[in-house]
Amino acid sequence: MSSFYITTPIYYVNDVPHIGHAYTTIAADVMARYRRMRGDDVTFLTGTDEHGQKIEKAAEAKGTTPKELADRLSAGFRQVWEKLEISNDDFIRTTEPRHKAAVYEVFRRMQAAGDIYLGEYEGLYCVPCESFWTETQVVDGNCPDCGRGVDTVTEASWFFRLSAFGDRLLAHMDAHPEFISPKSRANEVRQFIHMGLRDLSISRTGVKWGIPMPDDPEHVMYVWLDALVNYLTAAGFPNPGYETRWPAQVHVIGKDILRFHAIYWPAFLISAGLPLPERIVSHGWWTIDGEKMSKSKGNVIDPVAVAEHFGTDAMRYFLLREVPFGNDGDFSIARMVEMYNADLANGIGNLLSRTVSMVHKYRGGTVPAGDAADAAAAPVKEAAALLPSSFHTGLDDPQRTGRGLKFDEPLEQLRQLVWAANTFIHDSAPWTLAREGDDARLDTVLYNAVEALRVAATYFYPVMPEMAGRISAAIGLTLDPYAIDFDAAAHWGQYPAGTPLPAPEPLFPRQDLKTVPDHLTVKTPQENPVSDTSAETPAAQASDPPAATEATRDDYVSIGDFAKIRLQVGTVREAERVKKSEKLLKLQVDIGTEVRQIVAGIGRMYTPEEMLERQVVIITNLRPAKLMGVESQGMLLAAGADEVEALLAPSGPVTPGARVR
């Protein structure tokens, strides 16, 4: 019995659980259930990430404590997972004492290895995202993730010598080609490492809600160091015996947090002298009806609402069947209805229904004994025999699944089984046999049909645990998935004849697109878009706290703050493209007292020619910066959603240098 430790990311409590979170967690759950069936000693971990300034502020705005807020939100996640039949063995919270102990021990080891030092950090900080950005990362003075303003922060900071780990990380990837999948993601990681890693600031001073740095209570542990260690914590680290769990076999993650898991985390572990996880499997994002999920569009899908309408199992089935793992996918109710009807209602659902009702109609509700070696049933038997290996090839073999996990292989094989069984019934025409009184043959057909359902239920279990149980019950059995031998369960002819069946009832009633409610989206419309749609942790977050109404007051600035920013009108005297740049224009702007050189990212909307003699608004007291090696002495104001759409300018001629107020 081998140990199988699989994790989801820990989700930031401040976020509302959506279809992306559900997808990650369901995928991990299916793996966990499958490995339990195989007889592995599975530890399936999920949990919540609860520290950070965002929670601190949200709590303050709500007049509560961060802990109380986190308690409530974390419980919300637990409820969602319960509803979605998530079979996690442990649920970790970063606010637990056991976690603090683990973080300290990891830190102590990293320090002992000489990879920690005290330095000074100056950076631009985005409070909502709790992320530092370099000057080159920031977009128009705003956070590249969430688009909100950043503050310049200088502080003493502890650093991790990440720069020293590039070669070791690459060597590990060379030696373990299955370490990161899909392969394209591994390539991205390599590329990122090749460009050179910079030391990582791992402490913050402005934040109180977090794990204090050892011996330096002014600092709090950087969220990612705090968060990633959860995987060790849950394994029992640093207590004796954690080695039976660690290293984890699989970290399931969304592509947005790849870098943290594929670079930072392994580097931390190498430094601390701990083994690396075996596989990091990254999946794609869901769009909704072809559009990016965002709160402003109000199209963020609530997995619980979907589960309530279609059934949890149907949703689980859809998510895994619709999209090859690793690819981005599109969630549309129309597709969901289509697949539900084709595979579930018309497929397994109808197969069960017709079979059970024939047993009732022709045999008084008791499954007769029949010939399991019947020649006509051979194709069904063969389809069943391929089921175990479809799981093995789809989910076990990292070489073969270079794309990641392939849930579609076993699901396709199950579809084959259902199809073979339907064909068998059709060709055997039991209704004719009944009419003609061919009892022996009729018994055999019914027996084999029921046997097909027994096998289908067994192997549907990982994806549709509840339905697997109900199918089993409908054929008079009690499914005990973890008691069976996974491979042997497919062997034909195990159904115990003579079993009485309950009356048939539809397990998957047909769905009609017209009757699907249109409120399957989360109900808290926010003004800020969610930039990502998958599972993630804080640095990748862009959503607002539920307490947004109160919290936005924190965004107010005083008139004095505004006065600090000097806005002036200037006239463009010269304009040219910055060479080798896609959208940078180098402008010479006359502001009366002087001519400023401004580099602006407007090259997609404006040609240098049309900029000439145009009046523009610029910030003239912004710290100069270099872009593509060209100095910019200010910033030009423009507006647009993502890309610049239009410049800001006075509605009539103004003397160059005039203040904007």
Partner RNA sequence: GGCGGCGUAGCUCAGUUGGUUAGAGCAGCGGAAUCAUAAUCCGCGUGUCCGGGGUUCGAAUCCCUGCGCCGCUACCA
- Binding to RNA, residues 199-258 (CB under 7 A): 255-256
> What is the smallest separation between the CB atom of 48 and RNA, expressed in angstroms?
24
Q: How far apart are CA 333 and CA 197, in angstroms?
A: 43
Is the omega angle on the peptide bond into residue 506 within 30 degrees of 0, that is, cis?
no
Using rule CB under 7 A, residue 581 touches RNA: yes
Q: Does the footprint of RNA cover residue 364 (CB under 7 A)?
A: no
Stretch that binds RNA, among 104-112, 299-307, 370-378, 503-511 (CB under 7 A): 503-511
- Site residues for RNA, 255-284, by CB under 7 A, read 255-256, 259
Decide: is 426 part of the binding site for RNA (CB under 7 A): yes
Q: Is 490 in the site for RNA (CB under 7 A)?
A: no
The stretch near RNA (CB under 7 A) out of 55-63, 206-214, 349-357, 560-568 is 349-357
Among 167, 561, 582, 609, binds RNA (CB under 7 A): 582
Q: Does 600 bind RNA (CB under 7 A)?
A: yes
Q: For the chain, state the CA radius of gyration.
A: 30
Question: Is residue 625 close enough to count as binding RNA by CB under 7 A?
Answer: yes
Number of residues that bind RNA (CB under 7 A): 81
CA atoms within 13 A on the CB side of 73: 27
Q: Closer to RNA at the Cβ: 58 or 352?
A: 352
79 lies in the site for RNA, by CB under 7 A: no
Q: Measuring CA to CA, how many Å separate 489 from each of 259, 473, 481, 486, 495? A: 40, 17, 10, 6, 10
> Which of 533, 461, 347 is closest to 85 using CA atoms?
461
Number of H helices, E strands in the chain: 23, 25
Choice from 210, 247, 303, 347 touching RNA (CB under 7 A): 347
Mark the segment that binds RNA (CB under 7 A) among 21-29, 153-161, 550-558, 617-625.
617-625
Residue 545 CA neighbour count, 13 Å, CB half: 30
Among residues 623, 621, 569, 576, the alpha carbon closest in space to that of 600 is found at: 576
Query: Could you write out the three-class secondary structure of 584-635?
Result: CEEEEEECCCCEEEEEECCCCCCCHHHHCCCEEEEECCCCCEEECCEEECCE
Residues 289-328 that bind RNA (CB under 7 A): 322-324, 327
Burial class (CB in 10 A: 0-12, 13-18, 19+), 444: buried
Q: Measure the N-to-C terminal CA separation of the chain; round to a whole number of Å.
A: 72
Q: Does 141 bind RNA (CB under 7 A)?
A: yes
For residue 398, the minimal CB distance to RNA (Å) is 15
Is residue 588 a contact residue for RNA (CB under 7 A)? no
Report the alpha-carbon distance of residue 500 to residue 123 in Å, rounded.
72
Find the binding residues for RNA in span 534-573 (CB under 7 A): none
- Interacting residue with RNA among 71, 278, 289, 338 (CB under 7 A): 338
Q: 71, 90, 96, 140: which one contacts RNA (CB under 7 A)?
A: 140
Q: Is the peptide bond prior to 128 cis by the omega test (within 30 degrees of 0)? A: no
> In a 3-state reduction of DSSP, which class is residue 48?
strand
The interface mask with RNA, positions 7-26, x = CB under 7 A, is --------------------
**Does residue 191 belong to the site contacting RNA (CB under 7 A)?**
yes
Interface with RNA (CB under 7 A), residue from 71, 90, 155, 188: 188
How near is the Cβ of 429 to RNA at its closest, in Å?
Answer: 6
**Is 389 an interacting residue with respect to RNA (CB under 7 A)?**
no
- Interface residue with RNA, options 368, 476, 632, 647 (CB under 7 A): 632
Minimum distance, C-beta of residue 83 to RNA, in the bound complex (Å) = 22
Instruction: Identify which range of 62-70, 137-145, 217-225, 298-306 contacts RNA by CB under 7 A.
Output: 137-145
> Rounded distance, CA 497 to CA 489, Å?
16
Q: Which of 114, 275, 496, 509 binds RNA (CB under 7 A)?
A: 509
If the CB atoms of residues 118 and 342 are measured against RNA, the closer one turns out to be: 342
Is residue 628 close enough to count as binding RNA by CB under 7 A? Answer: yes
Rounded CA separation 421/416 (Å): 9
In this complex, which beta carbon is closest to RNA, that of residue 378 or of residue 548? 378
**Cβ closer to RNA: 300 or 584?**
584
Residue whose CB is less far from RNA, 112 or 513: 513
Does position 367 interact with RNA (CB under 7 A)? The reply is: no
Nearer Cβ to RNA, position 546 or 601? Answer: 601
Judged by beta carbon, residue 196 or residue 240, the one nearer RNA is 196
Taking CB under 7 A as the binding criterion, the range among 97-105, 220-228, 414-422, 539-547 that sits at the site for RNA is: 414-422
Q: Is there a contact between 43 and 308 (Cβ–Cβ < 8 Å)? A: no
Among positions 10, 116, 124, 229, the unique one binding RNA when judged by CB under 7 A: 124
Q: Regarding beta strands 250-254 and 3-12, do their DSSP bridges make them parallel or antiparallel, or are they unpaired? A: parallel
Q: Where are the beta strands (DSSP E) in 234-360?
A: 250-254, 279-283, 286-288, 291-292, 329-331
Which one among 624, 639, 645, 646 touches RNA, defined by CB under 7 A?
A: 624
How many of the other CB atoms lie within 10 Å of CB of 579? 10
Report the C-alpha gap between 223 and 508 in whole angstroms: 44
Q: How far is CA 58 from CA 12, 15, 79, 141, 224, in A?
A: 13, 12, 21, 24, 20
Kind and range of the H or E run holding 382? helix 378-385
Residue 624, both tokens: 């100069």
Q: Identify which of residues 300 and 578 has a Cβ nearer to RNA in the complex.
A: 578
Taken in order 54, 60, 63, 66, is the CA torsion positive or negative?
Answer: positive
Residue of 580, 609, 653, 661 that binds RNA (CB under 7 A) = 580
Contacting residue, 163, 244, 296, 432, with RNA by CB under 7 A: 432
